[in-house]
Amino acid sequence: MNFKNLDKSTTFETIKSLAKINLQDSLNPERIQTYQIKTGAGLTYNYAAMPVEESHIQAMQTLSEELQLVEKYQAVLDGQIMNPGENRLVLHHLTRGQIGKQVVADGEDKGEFYKAQLSRIAEFSKAVRSGEIVGSTGKKFTTVVQIGIGGSDLGPRALYLALKGWADASAIQQLNAKFISNVDPDDAQATIEELDFERTLFVLVSKSGTTLETLTNRDLMIQAIKESGVKGIDPAKHLVAVTSKTSPLASSSSVLDAFFIDDYIGGRYSSSSAVGAVILSLAYGFDTFKAFLDGAHESDVAALNPNVKENAALLDALIGVYLRNVLKYPSTAILPYSQALSRFPAHLQQLDMESNGKHVNRDGQTLSYPTGPVIFGEPGTNGQHSFYQLLHQGTDIVPLQFIGFSDSQYGKDIEVEGSTSQKKLNANLVAQIVAFAQGKDDKNPNKQFSGNRPSSLLYAKQLTPEVLGALLAHYENKVMFQGFTWNLNSFDQEGVQLGKVIATKVLKGCEGDQILKAFADLL
């Protein structure tokens, strides 16, 4: 397979020589209607306000073929080793349905392994939700609390919040879900103080079964249960684990049950595995989680199309490379006009920056070009009254990715001055796209807007489980395609480890490191 650095591509040199697009001149109704791609579950990617035209797209098609981007994706699906740093397969796509060849690793069919775990989670969540499985004092569970960190928290938390309004409006029976992630004891205590322990089920997520922050919060929780004074309560009957089959938690008597993941599912890609399945199935029912998986699978299938004009994740990725490596824009803002997606930008921060925040290629050689951008964002119109000032008139141009929906989740609204709140929300979204692209002339320099600030739009009728799955998979696949283009290993995260190692050293008394001790003494 053709793995080479982007700066060795003759096609990329062609792309760099193409004329820069003036959005103020190029935007028109026909372009807005045609520069878009459906990507599964009713989700559409519109790139009309991105600074590309047919010549760019044709060159991107050639670049995709030269770098074999879709073939590399197929290699992921077929179970080839695509994480060279850790010599591992990359199998998160397989958790939502098989597309490629049968994948056998560790002496087992991995597709069947993931399906078996889903089946166990479906049965367990049904038993808990129906009251067949109850707490140690005989009371039905009404709350589920996930204890995890990083990918074990950000993704599942973002997805839970994203579906809350839809579940309420659909009259879905629910367990209230909460999350503890930070080793800061105030984070855990703020949640613990709200809990009725007799009716709470905890989900401990640690692949290794040894994650320090997660086990610390588990022990803090167990201590709180023991000190609660509830007669007969047994913490082990209120705790399940999501872990690997080889971890200490897998067969521990300290947990009610254990559901398995493996080393081929990276934390930031784990929301469609047992990491997300357990808490989301308990909270909203397994059928809701299955619908989410179906939407993700649709988007995964669409990402196999070799035609960039019909592959939203691939074209989004290549336009992103153009913005980063030709136009030299160092950051990207994710702007969902949906309060339900309030934590989605935080999840995408980890997904993108942990995957493609790399300075060496797959062979460990230093790269000469920039890679992953800084990702940030906030939902709705709040951002307009916050950091949009810099986005509109600052000295740096920041590419924007808007997310919007025609209908709200709850379907409850009020008409004021001729329009509903949802109409007002979407009017703001549309206005921002046009304002960023076209700008505004004014005799007063303070009121001038230069325009030519690029954006894209991902939109659907409503944020449902299927659409959420497609949205998540779109971004996962976009990040993957960009990693292939930059010749990175997007599936390891060595940058996370150094701080952990040094923190352990601090806890051991700094081991003679005077600089470390000087800082430690400040706290």
290, 273 Cβ separation under 8 angstroms: no
179, 146 Cβ separation under 8 angstroms: yes
The catalytically annotated residue of 4, 461, 500, 517 is 500
498, 89 Cβ separation under 8 angstroms: no
Active site includes 354? yes
Active site includes 385? yes
351's CB contacts (< 8 A; 6+ apart) are 155, 268, 269, 475, 476, 479
Tell me the C-alpha distance between 153 and 141, whole Å. Answer: 21
Output phi, psi for 37, to 5 deg.
-140, 135
Alpha helix (H) residue ranges in 357-399: 388-393
The catalytically annotated residue of 213, 354, 378, 476 is 354
Output phi, psi for 416, to 5 deg.
-130, 125
Concatenating the DSSP letter of every residue in 107-170 gives: TEEHHHHHHHHHHHHHHHHHHHHHTSS--TTSPPP-EEEEE--GGGTHHHHHHHHHHHHHHHHT
The catalytically annotated residue of 20, 231, 385, 443 is 385
Burial class (CB in 10 A: 0-12, 13-18, 19+), 364: exposed
Active site includes 500? yes
Task: Report the run of H or E that residue 437 belongs to, with start and end.
Answer: helix 421-438
Tell me the C-alpha distance between 260 and 278, whole Å. Answer: 10
And the tokens for 308? 């960039």
And the tokens for 34? 């045609």
Q: Please identify every residue annotated as catalytic.
A: 354, 385, 500
